[in-house]
Amino acid sequence: MTSISTPAQFTELGLIPPLLARLTELKYLQPTPIQAQAIPSVLAGRDLIAGANTGSGKTATFALPLLQHIFLQLSADTASNGKSNKGNYVTGLILVPTRELAKQVAESIKSYAVHFNGAIKTVAVFGGVSVNTQMLALRGGADILVATPGRLLDLISSNAIKLDLVKTLVLDEADRMLSLGFTEELSALLALLPKKKQILLFSATFPEQVKALTQELL
Ligand code: AMP
C-alpha cells in the first residue's frame, strides 16, 4: 500500500524542469517506490542507505538528484565568476562492480542530462580496456565519474584524476562490489575522499560485509 505522504508524481519530488521534461520524453509516467521515497531527501543533501534490486529504478534515484545538484552549482559558479579551473577534479563519484554496469549507468546519466546541453561532463572508467583513452577523457576532470574500483585506483596513481573535491559518493550494488573482492580497493578509495560528502549506498542484500562498510562510511 502506498503511504499517503509518499509523492506519486515526479513533479512533486523537487526536480527541476530540464529533468522533468526528459522523464516525460522517456515515458517515465510515475516514480517507482524508491524514487518517490528517496529523491526528495537526496535532493535535500541527506545520506541514503537503500535496499534496491536492479529494476527498482535505483539509477534514477541517485542520478537525477546528482545531476540537479551539479547543474545548479555550475550555474551558480558561472553567475558569480565564470568557469573555475579545478584541474582533474571529480564532483560526483559513482562506484560500480562491473564494466557493464559502469557503461549502463553512464548512458542513463547522459540520457537524463540531455536538456543540460552538454553542461555536465560524465565519464565512465573500467578495467579490461586500454587506460589511455580513459586518461584522455578525464583531461580537465569530470563532473560525474562512473568507475570500477581497481581501474579508478590505477588512474589516481597515474595522476589522471583526484578525489579531493568529491561532493557525492554513490556505491551502486555494494554487495556485488564486496563479493567480487573489491574490499581493499574500496577502503583505499574511501581514504582518498574528503570527509564531508553526501553518501548514497545501494545494495540488494545486507550481509555482514555490507554492514561493516556502512559502519565505515557513516
Ligand atoms: P534500474 O533499476 O535503475 O536499473 O532501472 C531499471 C529500468 O527501469 C531502466 O530501464 C530504467 O530506464 C527504467 N525506469 C526507471 N525508473 C522508471 C520510471 N519511473 N518509470 C519507468 N521506467 C523507469
Task: List phi, psi (to 5°) of 50.
Answer: -130, 140
pLDDT at residue 5 greater than cutoff 70:
no
Atom of ligand 1 nearest to the CA of 104: 4
Instruction: Yes or no: say if 168 and 198 are a contact pair by the CB < 8 Å rule.
Output: yes
Q: For residue 112, report the distance from its CA to the centre of ligand 1, in Å.
A: 11
pLDDT of residue 8: 87
pLDDT of residue 171: 98
Residue nearest atom 14 of ligand 1, based on CA coordinates:
57
pLDDT at residue 4 greater than cutoff 60:
no
**Three cell numbers written together for 53:** 534490486
pLDDT at residue 84 greater than cutoff 70:
no
Q: What is the pLDDT of residues 153-182, one digit of tens each?
A: 999 999 999 999 999 999 999 999 999 999
Q: For residue 189, report the distance from its CA to the centre of ligand 1, in Å.
A: 29
Q: For residue 56, report the distance from its CA to the centre of ligand 1, in Å.
A: 7
CA 107 to CA 110: how far, in whole Å? 5
pLDDT of residue 198: 98
For residues 8 and 101, the model is more confident at: 101
pLDDT of residue 181: 94
Lookup result for grid cell 555550475: 74
**Three cell numbers written together for 88:** 582533474
Q: What is the pLDDT of residues 93-142, one digit of tens each?
A: 999 999 999 999 999 999 999 999 999 999 999 999 999 999 999 999 99
Q: What is the pLDDT of residues 32-83, one digit of tens each?
A: 999 999 999 999 999 999 999 999 999 999 999 999 999 999 999 888 875 5
Q: For residue 107, report the distance from its CA to the centre of ligand 1, in Å.
A: 13
pLDDT at residue 25 greater than cutoff 60:
yes
pLDDT of residue 83: 56
Task: Name every residue whose Cβ is closer than 8 Å to that of residue 141 and which is 6 or more positions away in sequence.
Answer: 86, 87, 88, 89, 90, 121, 161
Sign of dihedral through CA atoms 145, 147, 149, 155? negative
Task: List phi, psi (to 5°) of 63.
Answer: -70, -40
pLDDT band, very low/low/confident/very high, at 86 (cuts 50, 70, 90): confident
pLDDT at residue 3 greater than cutoff 70:
no
